[in-house]
Amino acid sequence: MKLKVVRNKFLNFYKKKKHIIMPHINLKLNENKLMFVNSGMIQFKKFFLGRKSKYKRICNVQPCFRVSGKHNDFEKIGYTNIHHTLFEMLGNWSFRNYFKYDALFWTWELLINKFKINEKKIWITIHENDFETYNIWRKIGISNKRIIKKKNIKKKFFLNENFWEISNNNGPCGTCSEIFYDMGKKYKLKNQRYVEICNNVFLQYKKKLYNNKYILNKLKYNYIDVGIGLERLTSILQNVNSNYKIDLFKKIINKISDKIKIKNINSLKIISDHIRSACFLISEKIYPSNNKHGYILRKIIRRAIREGYKSNIKNPFFYKISSILIKEMEDFYPFLKKNKNNIKNVIKKEEEKFFNIYKIGIRILNNELKKCSKKLDGKFAFKLYDTYGFPIELLEDICLKNKILIKKKEFFYEMNKQKNNFLNRN
Ligand code: ATP
Ligand code: MG
Ligand code: MG
Ligand code: MG
């Protein structure tokens, strides 16, 4: 079953359960704390906080981006089979309407009856005090041994992994229940063997500070927030052991491997992941820069270039991959097609800029390396980074390859000195 089909089947399933299909929102946010949309509920937060929603049941597909703030998966990319910087979250919501019973029954119906996932591979986690959820899962037919009660580590009802809150202070909150898929005995590490596919959040309390202690009051209305990772679900339905082996990524990775000749598996994952994020961000008119959203985009593009460099690619290549990604995703996200040329140009320009810096920097670096023996002066490294804009990660890669040590203490000394100068001036 293709990813596209999974997406549509999900929407149709909840449409039949009388949900309104809501369009997704842009990734870019201008909130103080959150730069990007990191889950489907972001556009509905206002309803949890008290505003009345016109619709009682909503479902949608929301691109989510987790490279900053509380959820930051950037460093995981390339090293797990289940994380992306940008992924699609399938979501369904109830605003003052159905609650735990229907939410769990429908999630189960969707996964087991509709998508025909083998129920023997499913494991459930619940909050240890959430007997109501436990009983519903039992009624659905899950055996006791497959329901893991997450221990309340901090011995306060709300400070727990299976307890979800909108903010740490006074917001709405409630228990949640996650669904995991068992990838099989051959995976020795727990977090590789059990893949989280879904999270059901039950908002039914409001947390309040009372006499220096937090207490939970029942909310007047209940809310449901369910999120499923589309790529993870698709990988299970396509019977592959990695998000990067589903139809969408297989096509992109084949292209990178055949045309660009990158073979390292971690690099392939990183590049195929990052091209998707770059295309979405640029479509929203975010451009590479040195701060905020633009900086995150620059970080994404530069990481991809760095992976190319590891395979000896020293010319712009990343922009070439955008067309295949766009072709694969434009049906559901037509703005990608509309922005096709712009996306290509922006990435190409950023790559060219990088390689110019690289060429100048590498010449200066080579001269210095002739002088030094196995230890690179920290002051020099800082100048290369600060004056010429040579990325420090790349310098580290080159030095590592040539068994040269960077005198980091000196480097950071110079960096602090400059920071202090700057602060004194302002
Ligand atoms: P994990 O523990 O695997 O990092 P999570 O608990 O952070 O996931 P949630 O915030 O509960 O994830 O989001 C709901 C669902 O979205 C998850 O169950 C998972 O299927 C999917 N998901 C979360 N993060 C990612 C990611 N970085 N890439 C792909 N899918 C993701
Ligand atoms: Mg996570
Ligand atoms: Mg989790
Ligand atoms: Mg979760």
Q: Mind listing the pLDDT tens digit for each residue in 131-165?
A: 999 999 999 999 999 999 987 655 555 556 798 88
pTM of the model: 0.92
Ligand 1 nearest-atom number relative to CA 89: 16
The mean pLDDT of the chain is: 92
**What pLDDT score does 169 carry?**
67
CB of 305 sitting under 6 A from ligand 1: no
Q: 57-65 and 20-21: which strand pairing?
A: parallel
C-alpha span between 196 and 177 (Å, rounded): 11
* HEC sequence for 175-232: EEEEEEEECCCCCCCHHHHEEEEEEEEEEEEEEEEECCEEEEEEEEEEEEEEEEEHHH
Ligand 1 nearest-atom number relative to CA 178: 18
C-alpha span between 195 and 123 (Å, rounded): 10
**What pLDDT score does 70 carry?**
83
* Res 261 pLDDT > 90: yes
CB of 231 sitting under 6 A from ligand 1: yes
**What pLDDT score does 154 carry?**
57
Ligand 1 nearest-atom number relative to CA 195: 3
Least confident piece of the model among 107-116, 286-295, 351-360, 391-400: 391-400
pLDDT tens-digit map of 5-59: 999 999 999 999 999 999 999 999 987 789 999 999 999 999 998 899 999 999 9
pLDDT tens-digit map of 64-103: 999 988 889 999 999 999 999 999 999 999 999 999 999 9
Closest residue CA from atom 27 of ligand 1? 83
C-alpha span between 145 and 132 (Å, rounded): 17
Distance in Å, CA 179 to ligand 1 centroid: 11
Least confident piece of the model among 77-81, 104-108, 398-402: 398-402
Expressed in angstroms, the distance from the first to the final Cα of the chain is 59
CB of 276 sitting under 6 A from ligand 1: no
From 194, 196, 235, 242, mutation site for ligand 1 pocket: most ligand atoms within 8 A of C-beta: 196
User: Is residue 64 within 8 Å of residue 14, measured between CB atoms?
Assistant: no
Q: Is 172 helix (H, G, I), strand (E, B) or coil?
A: strand
Closest among 29, 179, 188 to 90, alpha carbons compared: 179
Closest residue CA from atom 23 of ligand 1? 229
Least confident piece of the model among 1-10, 71-80, 181-190, 213-222: 213-222
Question: 3-241, what's its fold?
Answer: BirA Bifunctional Protein; domain 2 (3.30.930)
CB of 298 sitting under 6 A from ligand 1: no
Distance in Å, CA 166 to ligand 1 centroid: 16
* Res 342 pLDDT > 80: yes
CB of 229 sitting under 6 A from ligand 1: yes
Ligand 1 nearest-atom number relative to CA 227: 14
C-alpha span between 418 and 402 (Å, rounded): 29
* Res 110 pLDDT > 90: yes
Interface confidence (ipTM) of the complex: 0.99
Give the angle 392-394-398 at the CA atoms, nearest 5°: 120
